[in-house]
Structures are given as C-alpha cells and as structure tokens.
Amino acid sequence: EQAAQAEGEGAPVREGRRQRSRQAQDERQAGRGQNDRQQGERPQYDRQQGERQQYDRQQGERQQGERQQGERGQYDRQQNDRQANDRQQSERGHDDRQQGERQHQAGQPVGQQNRAGQQARYDEEGGSRRSRNRQRSRDRKRGRTREGGAQDWVDADLLVQDDDVLVPVAGILDVLDNYAFVRTSGYLPGPNDVYVPLGMVKKNGLRKGDAVTGAVKALREGEQPTGSVGRQKFNALVRLDTVNGSSPEEAAKRVEFQKLTPLYPQQRLRLETEPQVLTTRIIDLVAPIGKGQRGLIVAPAKAGKTMIMQTLANAITTNNPECHLMVVLVDERPEEVTDMQRAVKGEVISSTFDRPAEDHTTVAELAIERAKRLVELGHDVVVLLDSITKLGRAYNLAAPASGRILSGGVDSAALYPPKKFFGAARNIENGGSLTILATALVETGSKMDEVIFEEFKGTGNMELRLSRELANRRIFPAVDINASGTRREEILLASEELKIMWKLRRVLAALDNQQGIELLIDRLKKTKTNYEFLLQVQQTSSIKLDED
C-alpha cells in the first residue's frame, strides 16, 4: 500500500517533467525551422542586393554618358560659333582689304579709317565671346515684361502684320524713368496718350520735348492695347515717322542743349507797335529786351502784370514773327487762361490752380524741354512764364522733403528746379536763342514769396518792376522807371541812342516816381514813335542822333 501510495504521489511529478521536456523539444524544433527559413531567404536577399547594385552602376554610367554627351555638344557649339566668328572676321578683313585697295587707288589714306572701322565693329559686337553671350541673353529677354509693368522694346517691324490697320498719331514726347509717352492732347497726361518703349527712345536718340509723328495699330474688337504701365493700358507706337519735322536719322545728329555756347543778347526784340500802345514803348525805352534775355517782371498784386504779359506777347508775334512764342501759365485762374488763349497768337500752355502741384511741375518741365529742342534746331523761342513764384510753390509741395527748411517753409531742394527753368534762357553763339520773361510776385504778405523772389533776384539780366502806388492811382502802365533796367544794354542800343537814354534817365531820376512816369507818358502821347520822342529829347542838348 505504501508503494502504491508513493507511486500515486510521483505520477504528477513525472507528468510535469514530460510536459516540460515536450515544450523544450517543440522550442528546439521551432528554432531549427526558423533558422532553415532564414537560410532559405538569404540567397534571395543577396540576389536582390546584387540586382540593385547592378542597376545603380548602370544608372551612373548612363548619367556619365549623358554628361559627356552634353559637354561634347556644348564644345561642338562653341567650336561652330568660333568657326563662324573666324569666317566673319576673315570675310570682314577681305572686305576691308578690298575697300582699302579701292581707297588707295583713289589716293586716300586708309590705315586709320580701317582701324577705326574695325574698332567700331569690335565695340559694337562686344569684342569677346562673353560680350556676345550677354548680347544673346539680352535678345532672349527682349519682349518680356518687367516687374514694373513696362514692356521692353520689340522691333516695330515685328509687331506690324499685313492685316493690321495703322492710325497716324502726333504729339510731344514725354520721357519718364522707365518708359515714355507721346502726349497727344497737350502737355498734360491724357487717356489717348501713346506708349513709347524705352528701347525705341534710345535707338532713335529721342529726347524729352520732341515733336514726333508716327503710327499705332488700330485695335480690333476685343483686343487689348500692347503698352501697359501699372494697371493702365495704352496703345503702343509701332512706327516712328518724323522727329521735329525731320527724319529720325537726322534728329539723332543734333547737338545737346547743354553743349551750346551762351552769350549776352546781341539782337534786339522791338516791342513798339502802335502809337497808343504805351506799355511796349516804355519798355523799349527803360528796359530793352534782346533775343536770349532772362528777364523778371516784378509785380505786386493788382498792378497790371497780366495786361503787360498780353501786350508783350502780341508785340512779339507782330514785330518778330520768326520767334516761336510759348505762354506758360502755372497755378492761374481758368478765366485768365481762356482770356490769354483768345488774346495771344501763340502757344498757350496752362495748368490751372484747381489741379495738383504735380501737374504744374509736369507742364513747366515739358514746356521748357520743348523750347530747348527748338533752340537746338536753331530757332528763336520766347517763353512767357506766369509766374515763377507759383512754380516755386508747386515744387515745394511736389518735391520730396530734404529736411533742410528755409524761412517761410521753403524746402531748400525745391528751389533748384525753378532755377533750372529760368537759367535755360540764353543766346546761342551759332544761331538760336531762348528768351524767358517770368513774373515774380512781391508784397503778398507771404514770407515764402519773399524767399523765392530773393533767390531769383540776381539771376536775371533784365528787370521790369511795377509799382502798387502807381496802380492805386490808376496810372498805367505802373512801371517804376528808376528800379527797371537791363544789364549790358549798350550791346542792344546804338551809341547815340544810348547817350540820349542816359540823359533821359538823369532827368527822370531827379523827379519822384509818380512825376517821372506821368512826364514820360505825357511826352509819349504827343509823339507817334519812340524815334520821334528821342529826337525831341536830343534837341534839348548838343547831342545829335544818327537818323540811321
């Protein structure tokens, strides 16, 4: 019993050992099966790795071959370019030798001409392959749109097709920073202005103020204009016909205005017209004007400067029809502009006071540039500006602040553009003149006007001063004789006439301002011409006037 009982107690122990033995055997069988699977998968993994390495080698060889092919193609292109350039050089040298032989047979020295021509062509082509590459790059970029919206110039012939309808246009060229416009409706920007690519301006040597004629394409239904500046669209100029009445080739040979030699006025502008028009007769006596004069008409308010400007304009067009008259009205009343347009037979350019200051400066700048272009062609131009004080105010508002403020709130940088305008007046040595007569406001109660006038006080070579006291007494023309005069008047007046004028001035200087002008007006009313008046003055002394 005890043995049976012991055997019964040991049975569970033996069963536990058998289970643990089976589990260990199963684990060994599983590890052995996993090892066999891994052994079976390793050759397949090695084959995949080998195929991947072989593919990478093939890709590297293919890329290397493509690089070599590209380098070989680039080398071939460079060789072709070099050979083409060598052929052009040899052909050009052959042509130069033939031309040199022809000129040598005609007895002309050709060495310097050939070298100059070769150098000019060398400079024009760029002189090196790098320059040619830059030229190709510029050619590729031509026709694209800049960030600012202004389109680069494309050859006009490429823009015009056989079925295009061309419409003629004409106007004044206004060149800005990155583009240009043909102002077709005056000197101010308008909706019908024509866009001009900057490349066309540089190619033809166009300048601001040129009077150009050309053609634009008539827009088809639904077609947009080709020129754009910002969000606005403008029709572009596709053909340039004339520049200031001549061909573009002739206009490119003009001399720049800054290179012309200025002189004192030599030829006198006669203002005397009719016996009853005393204003011009008095100006001829006390402040004679010559071609190329830079004159200031200093006038307080309500002294009759507008009537004097109209009288001067009519006298210039009557006695000097060869002069081109331009009346520039800045910051003036609209009714005065209309009155001036109807009373003056000349070009009236205006910007009324209800327009922004930028329009005042734009009109003045384009008008003076137009006058310069006419002087470059040898013409005599007379500009009447009303007024230079208001022009200085406009530049003070429109110009960016420099941080240097003068008394009266005038920015120091705002006075340079009006000085540039006024300083353009000059008599040109070999023909042509630009005469500027500008009004300056005084006694307005504004410190700014006083500062502007003081800046221009010594810049002119002729000054006509009007008097408020005489105007209040209704004595017209209210000319202050003692304060008016012309620098170097001996150049404009004959010697005998000069002596008589000095005597007349001594007589008038002995009287006060009112008595002097009343005496002069009274004597002028009794004579029909200034010559007759000067003869009467001469009879009071031993000086004889040459009747010639």
pLDDT above 70 covers what percent of the chain? 75
pLDDT of residue 462: 95
Q: Tell me the C-alpha to C-alpha distance, in Å, between residue 269 and each of 305, 318, 475, 504.
A: 19, 11, 25, 21
> For 280-310, what is the HEC assignment?
HHHHHHHCCEECCCEEEEEECCCCCHHHHHH
Do the Cβ atoms of 211 and 258 come closer than 8 Å?
no
**What pLDDT is attached to residue 453?**
93
d(CA 95, CA 116): 15
Q: How buried is 443 (Cβ within 10 angstroms: 0-12 exposed, 13-18 middle, 19+ buried)? A: middle
> Residue 283 pLDDT more than 90?
yes
pLDDT at 458: 84
Give residue 457's pLDDT: 87
Which whole number is the average pLDDT over 52-69? Answer: 74
Identify the sign of the CA torsion 256, 261, 265, 266.
Answer: negative
Q: Does residue 144 surpass a pLDDT of 70? A: no
* Token code pair at residue 31: 């590890």
Q: What's the chain's average pLDDT?
A: 82
pLDDT: which is higher, 528 or 124: 528
Cα gap 172→303, rounded to integer Å: 35
Q: Tell me, what's the pLDDT at 403?
A: 81
Q: How many CB atoms lie within 10 A of CB 107?
A: 6
> What pLDDT was estimated at residue 482?
93
Question: CB count, 10 Å around CB of 119?
Answer: 11
φ, ψ (nearest 5 deg) of residue 510: -75, -15
- The residue among 284 and 165 whose pLDDT is bigger is 284
325, pLDDT greater than 80: yes
Whether the CB-CB separation of 206 and 234 falls below 8 Å is answered with no
Is 470 in contact with 302 (CB distance < 8 Å)? no
Query: Does the structure show a pLDDT above 90 at 123?
Result: no
Q: Looking at 75-89, 205-219, 281-295, 470-484, which range is the least confident one? A: 75-89
Q: Is the pLDDT of residue 148 over 50?
A: no
SS3 236: strand
Asked if pLDDT for residue 154 goes beyond 60, the answer is: no
More confident residue, 373 or 141: 373
- Reported pTM: 0.70
* Pairing relationship of beta strands 433-441 and 380-386 according to DSSP bridges: parallel
- Summarised one tens digit per residue, pLDDT across range 407-441 is 888 998 899 999 999 999 999 998 899 999 999 99
User: Per residue in 83-122, pLDDT tens?
Assistant: 766 676 666 666 666 665 555 454 444 444 444 444 545 4
102/358: higher pLDDT: 358
Which has more confidence, 92 or 140?
Answer: 92
Give me the pLDDT at residue 147, please: 38
Does the pLDDT value for residue 316 go beyond 70? yes
Neighbours of 303 (CB within 10 A): 27
What average pLDDT does range 462-486 have in this prediction?
Answer: 94
Residue 167 makes CB contacts below 8 A (sequence gap 6+) with: 215, 216, 217, 218
Which residue in this structure is represented by tokens 């040898």?
A: 378
Model confidence at 145, in pLDDT bands (50, 70, 90)? very low
477: preceding bond cis by omega (within 30 degrees): yes
pLDDT band, very low/low/confident/very high, at 177 (cuts 50, 70, 90): confident
Q: Work out the angle between the directed axes of helices 357-376 and 388-398 (0-180°, nearest 10).
A: 120
Which residue's structure tokens are 């070989």?
A: 72
Mean pLDDT of 267-272: 94
The per-residue pLDDT for range 296-312, each reduced to its tens digit, is 999 999 899 999 999 99
- From CA 340, how far away is CA 305, in angstroms rounded? 13
Tell me the H-state helices in 423-529.
447-456, 468-472, 495-509, 513-525
Instruction: Look at residue 508 and give its three-state secondary structure.
Output: helix
Q: Are 454 and 390 spatial neighbours (Cβ–Cβ below 8 Å)?
A: no
- Residue whose tokens read 């099966």: 33
Confidence tier at 62 by pLDDT (50, 70, 90): confident
Segment 336-343 shows an average pLDDT of 95
- Compute φ and ψ for 327, nearest 5 degrees: -105, 115
* Res 45: pLDDT: 67
Q: What is the pLDDT of residues 367-410, one digit of tens each?
A: 999 999 999 999 999 999 998 999 999 999 998 888 888 888 89
Q: Which domains does the chain have, with CATH numbers?
A: 166-252 (2.40.50.140), 262-486 (3.40.50.300)
Task: Write the pLDDT tens digit of every residue in 226-251.
Answer: 555 555 678 889 889 999 999 999 99
- Output the pLDDT for position 114: 46
Under the banding of pLDDT at 50, 70 and 90, the label for residue 150 is: very low
Indicate the pLDDT class of residue 293, thresholds 50, 70 and 90: very high
Pick the more confident residue, 27 or 185: 185
Q: Take residue 502 and report the two structure tokens written for it.
A: 């000095």
What local confidence, expressed as pLDDT, does residue 98 receive?
A: 62
Q: How confident is the model at residue 210 (pLDDT cuts 50, 70, 90)?
A: very high
Q: Are 156 and 200 in contact (CB under 8 A)?
A: yes
Do residues 448 and 393 make contact, with C-beta atoms less than 8 angstroms apart?
yes
Q: What token pair was written down for 282?
A: 């008095």
